[in-house]
Amino acid sequence: MDDDLLAARLEALDEALRPLGSLVVAFSGGADSAFLLAAATRALGPASVVAATAVSPSLATHELDAAASFAAGLGVRHETPRTDEMSREGYRANAGDRCYFCKAELLDVLRPLADRLGIGHVATGTNADDAVAGFRPGIRAAAERGALTPLRDAGFTKAQVRAASRAWGLPTWDKPALACLSSRVAYGVAITPQRLVRVDQAEVALRAALDRAGVAVRDLRVRDLGDRARVEVDAELAGWLAGRPDLLACVEGFAAVEVDPRGFRSGSMNEALEAPTPASPRRL
C-alpha cells in the first residue's frame, strides 16, 4: 500500500466532506460505509452526522446490533428506518436489475429522513472499485436520487478503505464482504420474506455448527437456487465441508444442499448474467 497515495486520498476525502456541513450516511455496517461514517464524523463532528441503517427482511439478523454498536462508538445518532423493498414489483421479480429497486427504495426513504432532520445530504459507501465492477444497477438508482459517493469521488479502492480503517483502529477494517440476503437468491427466483428468513436461518445455523466443530470460517453464503441450496465457504474448506453431511444437515428447508467446490465468490450470482449466450457472444 502506497502511504503517500493513501494520505492524499484521506486528505481529498476530508476536503470533500467538510463543506457539506451535515450528512446522513447510508450505513449497512460493512467496511465501506463504516469507514465513510468515521471519516464524516472526523470531518463534521458527531453532532452533524447521522448513520441510517435500513431495516427490512433483507437485513441479516446479526448485522443490526453490530451497526448500532459501531455508531455508538463514534457518538453519532443511529436511525433505523424501515424500508419496504417487497412493495416494488421489480425487486420481487428478482431479475438482473433487482438492486436498482432496492437502492431506489433505500434512497426514497433516506431523503425524507434527512429532510426531517434538517440535513442536506445523503451519501452511500460506494467505492472506486464498485464504479468499475461491471453491472451495478444500484449505483444508478442512487445517482438518480442525488446520493453522494465521497469514497468513489476521492478514489478510494476497497483495499485503501481497509488500510485506512486499520490505521484508524476501526473494527470493520477486515470485516468480510457484506451483502443483503436477497443477493443469495438466484436471479429469476422470486424474492419473498419466507425465502430471506430461510437463507438467514440457514447461514446462522451453519456458522454455529462450524463453530461448534472448531472450524473458523471467514466467508459463508447459502445461495437459494429455488428447490436447493448451494453453500459457499472459504475455498480451502469447500472440499472438507462437502464431506460433512452432518454439518450440512443444519441447512434446512431445501430439497437438497450442495457445496460449491470453487468456494466463496462475492457476487457469484452475477456469473449467470455475465455468461455468454448464442444470442450475445462474449467479445474478446
What average pLDDT does range 159-164 have in this prediction? Answer: 97
Nearest-10 crossing angle of helices 63-74, 31-44: 20
Per the structure block, which three cell numbers stand in for 52?
441510517
Indicate whether 18 belongs to any domain.
Answer: yes
Q: Which of 113, 132, 167 is the last residue of a domain?
A: 167
Q: Domain ends where: 167, 184, 208?
A: 167
Residues 149, 102: one domain? yes
Residue 250 lies in a domain: yes
Same domain, 79 and 15: yes
253 secondary structure, DSSP code: S
CB of 161 closer than 8 Å to CB of 151? yes
Residues 163 and 196 in one domain: no
Q: Which of 120, 154, 140, 107 is nearest to 48 (CA)?
A: 120
Neighbours of 89 (CB within 10 A): 8
On whether both 27 and 155 belong to a single domain, the answer is: yes
- 158/218 same-domain check: no
- Dihedral of CA atoms 70, 19, 122, 45 in degrees, nearest 10, equals 20
List Cβ neighbours of 9 (8 Å cut-off, separation of 6 or more): 154, 155, 156, 160, 164
Residues 35-48 have a mean pLDDT of 98
Tell me, yes or no, whether 122 and 207 share the same domain. Answer: no
Number of domains within the chain: 2
| Whether residue 15 is found in the same domain as residue 152 | yes
Let me know whether 132 and 19 are in one domain.
yes
Are residues 92 and 232 both part of a single domain?
no
Based on the domain organization, do 7 and 141 belong to the same domain?
Answer: yes
Q: Residue 162 domain-assigned?
A: yes
Task: Say if residue 277's pLDDT is above 60.
Answer: no
Q: For the segment 205-256, what is each residue's pLDDT rounded down to a tens digit? A: 999 999 999 999 999 999 999 999 999 999 999 999 999 999 999 999 999 9
Tell me how far apart the alpha carbons of residues 183 and 263 are, in angstroms, rounded to a whole number.
16
109 with 23, same domain: the answer is yes
Q: Is 67 part of any domain?
A: yes
Asked, for residue 182, whether it belongs to a domain, the answer is: no
pLDDT band with cut points at 50, 70 and 90 for residue 131:
confident
What is the chain's mean pLDDT, rounded?
Answer: 92
Find the largest Cα–Cα distance for the chain. Answer: 56
Within 10 A of 278 (CB to CB), how many other CB atoms are there?
A: 5
Segments forming the whole domain that contains residue 250: 192-267
What's the pTM?
Answer: 0.89
Q: Where among 167, 201, 218 does a domain terminate?
A: 167
Angle between helices 31-44 and 3-17 (to 10 degrees): 60
Residues 27 and 65 in one domain: yes
35 in a structural domain = yes
CATH number at residue 157: 3.40.50.620
pLDDT bucket at 148, cuts 50 / 70 / 90: very high
192, exposed or middle or buried, with CB in 10 Å at 0-12, 13-18, 19+? middle
Q: Would you say residue 236 lies in a domain? A: yes
Q: Which amino acid is at 230?
A: R
pLDDT at residue 280 tops 80: no
Tell me whether residue 173 is in a domain: no
Q: Lowest-pLDDT range, 27-31, 96-100, 129-133, 249-253?
A: 129-133
